[in-house]
Amino acid sequence: MLDLAIIGGGPAGLTAGMYATRGGLKDVTMFEKGLPGGQITQSSEIENYPGQIEVVTGMELMDKWPDQCKRFGLKHEMSEVKQVVKNGEIFTLTLSGDSQINAKSVLIATGSVPRPAGIKGEAEFFGRGVSTCATCDGFFYKNKDVVVIGGGDTAIEEAIYLANICKIVYIVHRRDEFRASPHEVEKLAKFDNIIPVLSHTTEEIVGDNMGVTGVVVKSKETGETKTLDALGAFIFVGRDVLNQTLIQDDGSFLCDVNESGEVKVDLKMKTSVEGLFAAGDIRIDAPKQVVCAAGDGAAAGISAITYLQ
């Protein structure tokens, strides 16, 4: 029987684990299906984590977090949690392989995954030219032309990362201005190999047996279509929360969620179910920043201690 089961080993889960164990909880296990660190490990450049003056990659930022947590007794189990249910006061987690473990309290910090754009050819060419991770796949397009789809901070940051490797980087965005913060957008001016294609929708990703060969875009102003010749299509159109573990056998959610599936919490990261907490990108109104996820994790860890006391 665990005191606290933490599901997800990103900034939220890791920080919660540190606060819970350092605050005196004895049996705290963090279930992380991959390596701890979370989605930020895919980022090529972090410059807004407080106190971190040098620009670092996401991998570098998260490198020491697991060791700091282990020092206070946090255990890490590399397993995927399939489902969480509550019977009476006790939570039961079903893990991959169908083994089960009980816990007195649970924190869900499973974050989010890239949202598909719903473009024709996106699924067909996924892994064969279509990617959602520039740091993972950018190198395959050294000195080649690529297309980035999206207009938020991620699209701009990743386009800049690709511009240092690729010949031409088109950024196709459906509106006439980017959603990304002005600070990010200003950086684009330094790269003469980044070509913004604004007010264009993406109609189709085309290719052949070898993979992607181009992206068909349509002007919202003239209705004209053209094909941007490119071997890679990087899609950054937002993210969907990972809440599947909360789905019960009857299809309902274990706790209250909003229309986007984000978990409803109060300022102490308590959900509508006693003893169940949520933190980071998965919660309602998340600013989707590392520092905020870590702050949520701290609040959730402290709340779990109070609950168990």
Binding site for ligand FAD (CB under 6 A): 7-13, 31-34, 38-40, 42-43, 46, 48, 80-81, 109-112, 154, 157, 242, 245, 280-281, 288-291, 293
Dihedral of CA atoms 11, 5, 264, 42 in degrees, nearest 10, equals 30
Told to check if 187 binds ligand NAP by CB under 6 A, we report: no
Span of 23-31, 132-140, 159-167, 235-243 interacting with ligand NAP by CB under 6 A: 235-243
Residue 10: contacted member of ligand NAP, ligand FAD, none (CB under 5 to 8 Å, by partner type)? ligand FAD
69 is catalytic: no
133 is catalytic: yes
Which is closer to ligand NAP, CB of 32 or CB of 157? 157
Is the Cα dihedral 9, 15, 21, 25 positive or negative?
A: negative
**Interface pick for ligand NAP out of 84, 106, 155, 206 (rule CB under 6 A):** 155
Residue nearest to ligand NAP (CB): 152
Site for ligand NAP in 3-62 (CB under 6 A): 48
d(CA 6, CA 26): 13
Selected catalytic residue, list 63, 67, 137, 266: 137
Span of 153-161, 208-216, 247-255, 261-269 interacting with ligand NAP by CB under 6 A: 153-161
In this structure, what are the phi and psi dihedrals at residue 306, rounded to the nearest 5 degrees? -60, -45
Told to check if 149 binds ligand NAP by CB under 6 A, we report: yes
Selected catalytic residue, list 136, 229, 256, 266: 136
Which element (helix H / strand E) includes 131? strand 130-131
Q: Quick check: 6 and 28 in contact, CB under 8 A?
A: yes
Which is closer to ligand NAP, CB of 149 or CB of 231? 149
d(CA 148, CA 193): 13
Minimum CB separation of residue 26 from ligand FAD in Å reads: 22
Q: Quick check: 266 and 272 in contact, CB under 8 A?
A: no
Site for ligand NAP in 70-129 (CB under 6 A): 117-118
255 is catalytic: no
The DSSP call for residue 41 is: G
* CB neighbourhood size of 37 (10 A): 20
Q: Quick check: 74 and 21 in contact, CB under 8 A?
A: yes
Cα-trace Rg, the chain: 21
d(CA 142, CA 136): 13
Residues belonging to the active site = 133, 136-137
